[in-house]
A = this chain, B = another copy of it.
Amino acid sequence: MNTKAKTAISPTRAEDYPEWYQQVIKGADLAENSPVRGCMVIKPWGYALWENMQRGLDKMFKATGHQNAYFPLFIPMSFLEKEAQHVEGFAKECAVVTHHRLEPDPETGGLRPAGPLEEPLIVRPTSETIIGAMYAKWVQSYRDLPILINQWANVVRWEMRTRLFLRTAEFLWQEGHTVHATREEAIEETYKMLDVYADFAENYMAVPVIRGEKTAGERFPGADITVSIEAMMQDRKALQAGTSHFLGQNFSRAQEIKFQDRDGEIAFAWTTSWGVSTRLVGALIMTHADDDGMVLPPKLAPAHAVILPIYRDETQREAVLEYCRQLQQELSTQAYAGRAVEVELDDRDLRGGDKKWFHVKRGVPLRIEIGPKDIAKNAVFVARRDTKEQQSLARNELVSGFIGLLDSIQRNLFDRAKQMQVQHTRVIKTEAEFRDFFTPANAESPEAHGGFALCHFHSEESVQPLLDELKVTIRCIPLANNDQPGICFMTGKAAEKQAVFAKAY
């Protein structure tokens, strides 16, 4: 293994984590800011990653009986007014369409809005209200239920402070919206989709997550139960990576989603909604990337490997390229995790070092370098992006072991992230210990402290002042291994459950 003092990304994680994050995105050419405030441009490498995420999730949604559909981008203002909590949650940050054309402005010589709308339209921040209005028409009888629909769409929330992938005014996501005849079935759906998200996070993204229920203060506006998956980033902060909501009858009452049940009685339906977004790309970066840039889990990588041909002159060139092309083709006949293996062959006219670092920064799982000497031995030089291990392999060994190698990288990324999560998760029983855990030891490096504090707590109210002071939030009440009552770390009172406390994105 080669060791080197300089890193491809500057600053490093330890030096300045937020700036490192921006530089990883830049180095991998995943996205960049646009001239439109808070809106990002997702560049081809970042978009291909999102497409692979979509493909993986979409398959899981369909396997659990869901279908895709598409609903309008715009929501009439009056629809938002119907569900009181929902208004509260979304009215403060939305794009409002008030006109339907532009006309010449004699004053400026430019254009000005014209054709005022009778009723303003909101660009959807989420689609419960517009989809609910359609469901109210579609649902008449218990025979029409359940409705199990998902939508892939763009949504807009007028965020004041934005950060690429993590928080942008416009983002891409999927939103599932289901309707059920019974409370039990809707609750089952809510947890089923949480499990789908956890499965995707752990088995595709290689990001370990904690499944849990949100406290009342952290629920989706209008939900009776919100459950989420929470992941630990490398700065030990939490990132909410997906949410699933049991909406009770709140939206069905507001929107009159009613049906005739088996006994001929008219009843309000029970609804759920659930979503993940391009935020997952942010989670992926902050879980796996290192000081040399992006590190992609093979199951989602747009390219599993890149072949770099090495030659000095034209006479060497054709033979080397031919060898590389054959290897590329042979590897591409294999499949990994339900997708044909994709191998890039990079024959651009760049300096070897530049080319190598280009792919390191993009996070391609395997780099394969092949020159005349390798060909003479029928061997190839292979470097793993995750561990940086490098070795010479017989060509056949690479071909036969290729899927195993990808799988080993996929597992290693998960194990590494899991180890990080376990290492920085601590059961905390006193306020002093809690304060200590969330207070940086060293003012130079304010980000690298804390983690997940697992604490019994009595009530949201009793801990809120301390949380506000330390900028910590209750992430969730974990669903697993959480049956033992204990003592509240703040009040000393009896407490039934533990919660995960953390600083968060």
A465 proximal to B (CB < 8 A): no
Task: Assess the B172–A70 pair: CB atoms within 8 A.
Answer: yes
CB distance from A229 to the nearest CB of B (A): 24
A92-B101, A95-B100, A98-B98 as given contacts; A154 in contact with B44, CB under 8 Å: no
Q: Residue of B at shortest CB range from A50?
A: B70
10 intermolecular pairs with C-beta atoms under 8 Å apart: A35-B76, A39-B74, A41-B71, A41-B72, A72-B170, A77-B111, A91-B102, A93-B101, A97-B97, A102-B122
Q: What residue of chain B has the Cβ atom nearest to residue A34's Cβ?
A: B72
Oligomeric state, in copies: 2
Among B40, B44, B70, B95, contact of A67 (Cβ-Cβ < 8 Å): B44
Give A157-196 as 1s and 0s: 1 = Cβ < 8 Å from B's Cβ atoms: 0100000000000101000000000000000000000000
Interface residues of A in 56-106 (CB under 8 A from B): 67-81, 87, 91-103
Query: Residues of B contacting A134 with CB < 8 Å?
Result: 32, 34, 41
Interface assignment of A485: CB less than 8 Å from any CB of chain B: no
A149 beta carbon closer than 8 Å to chain B: yes
Residue A467 CB within 8 A of the other chain? no
Pairwise interchain contact A69-B96, C-beta atoms closer than 8 A: no
B101–A98 touching, CB < 8 Å: no
Q: How far is the CA of A122 from the CA of B203 in the complex (A)?
A: 40
Evaluate whether A74 and B122 lie within 8 angstroms (CB atoms) in the complex, with A41-B134, A111-B91 already known. Answer: no
A330 at the interface (CB under 8 A from B): no
Please report the C-alpha to C-alpha distance between residue A77 and residue B114 in the assembled complex, in whole angstroms. Answer: 13
Neighbouring B residues of A172 by C-beta, 8 Å: 70
Partner-B contacts on A (CB < 8 A): 32, 34-36, 39-44, 47-48, 50-51, 67-81, 87, 91-103, 110-113, 115, 120-123, 130, 133-134, 149, 153-154, 156, 158, 170, 172
Report yes or no: B73 in contact with A91, Cβ–Cβ below 8 A: no
List 17 additional contacts besides A44-B149, A47-B68, A81-B110; criterion CB under 8 Å: A32-B134, A36-B72, A36-B75, A36-B121, A36-B130, A43-B69, A47-B70, A70-B172, A77-B110, A87-B102, A91-B101, A91-B103, A95-B97, A95-B121, A96-B113, A100-B158, A154-B154
A93 contact set on B, CB distance < 8 A: 100-101
**Cross-interface CB contact of A94 among B78, B101, B130, cutoff 8 Å:** B101
- A36 in complex: contacting residue of B70, B76, B154, CB < 8 Å: B76
Taking CB as reference atom, which chain B residue is nearest A87?
B111
* Those 5 A-B pairs whose CB atoms lie nearest each other, nearest first: A39-B72, A44-B67, A91-B102, A96-B99, A42-B70
The interface residues of chain B lying within 8 Å CB-to-CB of A92 are 101-102
A67 to B284, CA, bound (A): 22
Write the nearest CB–CB distance from A481 to chain B, whole angstroms: 39
| CA A51 to CA B134, docked complex, whole Å | 21
Tell me if A48 and B67 are in contact (CB < 8 A). yes
What chain B residues lie within 8 Å of A81 (beta carbons)? Answer: 110-111
The winner among A70, A71, A76, A101 for most chain B CB atoms within 10 A is: A70
Q: How far is the CA of A97 from the CA of B130 in the complex (A)?
A: 19
Report the minimum CB–CB distance from A246 to chain B (whole Å): 23
Question: Using Cβ atoms and an 8 Å threshold, which residues of chain B touch A75?
Answer: 36
A71 to B158, CA, bound (A): 17
Chain B residue numbers with a CB within 8 Å of A47 are: 67-70
Chain B residues in 8 Å Cβ range of A80: 102, 111
**In the assembled complex, how far is the CB of residue A391 from the closest CB belonging to chain B, in whole angstroms?**
32
* A73 engages B110 (CB within 8 Å): no
A498 to B417, CA, bound (A): 67
| Cα–Cα, bound, A87→B110 (Å) | 10
Rounded to whole angstroms, the CA-CA distance of A73 and B41 in the bound complex is 10
Taking CB atoms, residues of chain B closer than 8 Å to A42 are 69-70
Q: A240 CB to closest chain B CB, in angstroms?
A: 22
- Tell whether, in the assembled complex, residue B170 and residue A74 are in contact, meaning their CB atoms are under 8 Å apart: yes
Q: Are A101 and B68 in contact (CB under 8 A)?
A: no
Q: Determine the distance from Cα of A51 to Cα of B67 in the docked complex, in whole angstroms.
A: 11
